[in-house]
Amino acid sequence: MPSIMFKPDPFFNRTYELSALERAMNHPGKGGQMTLLYGRRRLGKTYLLQRYFTGGVSGNETVKPHCYFLAEQTTAQTQRFSLAEQILASLPSSGVSKEEIAVSWNALLRYVSQEAQTRETSSGRFALILDEFPYLVAQTPELPSILQAWWDREGTHVPLYVILCGSQLSAMTALGMENAPLFGRFNGGIYLLNPLRYEDVASFYKNSSLYGLAEKLMMYGILGGTPRYHAMVDTTRSLEEEVIALLMQPRAVLENEVRFLLGSEQIRDPAPYNAVMGVIAAGETQFGGIQQKTGVEKGTLSFYLKTLTELGWVRREFPFGDKAERRALYRIADPFLAFWYRFVAPFASALQFAESKRIYEEQVAPHLSSYMGWGVFEQICTQWLHRYASEKLGLTVLQMGRYWSHDSQIEIDIMAQLENGYLFGECKWSAESPIGLRVYSQLRAKIAGLPEAKWRHNPTCVLFSVGGFTPELHSLALEPEERLFLVGKKNLLPQGT
C-alpha cells in the first residue's frame, strides 16, 4: 500500500498554513522539526497536508518525501504493524520486515531516524505524519514520553519533519502544555486550524449561476466555515434544494453530523450540551436566561459553557471596553451549529414524517433573513474589517467587538479602536433593498449617546449592506468630513469570487 497522499481538489486558501509547513520542511538547520497541527473535524487538516506534500505552494507539483499514517481505533499492535507497512513503503531497506520494526514504538522510531540520516543530503527532510494521533495515545498512553525520549536522543539531530495531527481538541492541546512530555519540542510550530472565512467559502460557488452574493453568504451562514460541507453541495441545484438534501430530509447527508461531532470530543452525555446550544441558538444569550430555560444548576452550567467555548462552539462576548463578568453574553460561534440548532434540531421529529420541502418553506425560508441579520452577517462584516480595513479603507484596527449599553438602549454591531480614534459599524442584511440616510442617522445618534467622550470625538462610520445603498448615501460618503465608508455588494467579496 502506498504511503504518499493524494492531491485534493478543490482546495481553497490556507496560504498561511501552507507557508508554515514550507518553513519547517525547508528550515536551513540540519536538525529535525516537529509540528503540532489540530482542529475540529471536517476542517481540512488532512487536505492541508495532502496539498502541501503532493502539491506544495506556488504551483510546485513535486511530491515531497513523506510517510503519511492515518491511525485507526484498533489495538496497539495492529497500529504498529500498519505504520510499519507504511514506513517501509516510503523508506524501503533490503532485509528489513515490518514484523521486525513493529515490535515496539522505539523500534519504529529508531528505524525512521536511521533511514532519514542515511538519505542523501540533497533529498532534504523526510516527513513522518501521524494523523489522528490521539488514537495512538489511547492505546499506548506512554507514547508521548517515548516520542520525547527518541526525539531528544535521535530525532532532533537528523533531517526529519514530524507532524502530529488530530481532531480531539482537548487531547491535542494537552500535548503542548507545560507539564506534557513534548512541551518545548514543537520547534516547527503549534497550529490550530480554524474554519474558513466567508470569502473562502464563496470560492466553492464562484462558477455557479444559481449562487449570487446573497446566496453565497447564506451558504456560509448555513454550513459555516467547514470546507467538507461545502464540497458536498451540488451547485447546479438551488440553495433550497441543497439545504433540504443535506440537512432536512430523512437520511440527509449531515443528519447526524452534530451527534458525530459531540461524540468525537468524547462527550458522554450530550443532552445538557444540546439543551444549552438550543437555547442560545433560539436567542437567549445571558447566563441567567440560559440557566432558567435549561434548568441546569449554576455551577454545572458554567462547566458546560466553558467546555463549549473551548471547543469553539460557543463564543463569550463582552461589550467593547468592558470585561465585567456580569455583562458577558454567549452566542453560537459556528454558523453551521447555529443553523442546525435553530432550524433542524427543533423539527427533528417532524422531518421524519412530514414533507421536508414544506417544513423548509414554512419554518426556514421566512426566517432566513432575520437569522442572517441577527448574528451571521455581523461575523461576516467583522471578518471583512479584519482582512480589508487597512487595504481598502486605510485604517489600522487595534481591537474590535460589539457594544451594548448597561440599559440595552444602545446597541452597535461593530465598535473598534483605531490608531487615531474609533470606528463604528452597522451591519444591515437587507438583501433585497438598499439602505439610506435613516440608517446612518440612527448610527450617529447612537454614537452621540455613548458614555465616553473620546468615543464620540470625530468617529469613523462603516455601513455594510448586501442590498447596497441609496444614491443620497453614496453622495454623503463622498464628503471627507463625514468619515463614512460604504461596503456593499461590489466589495463584500473579492473580484472573481
Residue 341 has pLDDT above 90, yes or no: yes
Domains in the chain: how many in total? 3
Say whether both 343 and 273 belong to one domain. yes
Of 173, 192, 211, the domain-final residue: 192
Place of cell 502530529: 164
Residue 458 has pLDDT above 60, yes or no: yes
Say whether both 324 and 468 belong to one domain. no
Give, in degrees to the nearest 5, the angle at Cα 363 between 361 and 364.
70
**23-45 pLDDT tens trace:** 999 999 889 999 999 998 888 89
pLDDT category, 9, cuts 50, 70, 90? low
Return phi, psi of residue 131, to 5°. -90, 150
- Confidence at residue 262, expressed as pLDDT on a 0 to 100 scale: 81
Cell triple for 91: 523508506
Where would I find the H helices in 44-132? Answer: 45-54, 76-90, 98-101, 105-118
3-state secondary structure of 15: helix
- Confidence at residue 69, expressed as pLDDT on a 0 to 100 scale: 96
Q: Please report, for the domain that includes residue 304, its CATH number.
A: 1.10.10.10
Of 159, 176, 192, the domain-final residue: 192
The mean per-residue pLDDT over the stretch 252-281 comes to 87
Cell triple for 230: 461545502
Whole-angstrom Cα distance, residue 106 to residue 96?
16
Share of the chain above pLDDT 90, in %: 79
- Confidence at residue 431, expressed as pLDDT on a 0 to 100 scale: 78
- Confidence at residue 7, expressed as pLDDT on a 0 to 100 scale: 45
Say whether both 385 and 365 belong to one domain. no
In a domain, residue 35? The reply is yes
Say whether both 51 and 173 belong to one domain. yes
- Confidence at residue 173, expressed as pLDDT on a 0 to 100 scale: 92
Of 180-184, 325-329, 349-353, minimum mean pLDDT range: 349-353
Q: Please report, for the domain that includes residue 420, its CATH number.
A: 3.40.1350.10
The mean per-residue pLDDT over the stretch 60-77 comes to 89
Whole-angstrom Cα distance, residue 332 to residue 309?
9
Say whether both 365 and 401 belong to one domain. no
Q: What number of helices (H) and strands (E) belong to the chain?
A: 24, 12
Residue 262 contacts residue 273 (beta carbons within 8 Å): yes
Whole-angstrom Cα distance, residue 276 to residue 308?
9
Say whether both 186 and 77 belong to one domain. yes
**231-249 pLDDT tens trace:** 999 999 999 999 999 999 9
Find the distance separating the first CA and the last CA of the chain, reported in whole Å: 39
Say whether both 32 and 129 belong to one domain. yes
Say whether both 65 and 208 belong to one domain. no
Report pTM.
Answer: 0.88
Of 4-13, 56-65, 185-194, 288-297, minimum mean pLDDT range: 4-13
Residue 5 has pLDDT above 60, yes or no: no
- Confidence at residue 60, expressed as pLDDT on a 0 to 100 scale: 53
In a domain, residue 25? The reply is yes
Of 354, 372, 390, the domain-final residue: 372
Beta-ladder partners of 403? 412
Cell triple for 456: 464620540
pLDDT category, 2, cuts 50, 70, 90? very low
Exposure of 380 by Cβ count < 10 A (0-12 exposed, 13-18 middle, 19+ buried)? buried
Q: Please report, for the domain that includes residue 95, its CATH number.
A: 3.40.50.300
3-state secondary structure of 54: helix
**380-392 pLDDT tens trace:** 999 999 999 999 9
Residue 160 has pLDDT above 50, yes or no: yes
Residue 360 has pLDDT above 90, yes or no: yes
In a domain, residue 9? The reply is no
Non-local (6+) Cβ contacts of 18 within 8 A are 48, 51, 52, 56, 57
Give me the domain span that covers residue 253: 199-372
Mean pLDDT of the chain: 92
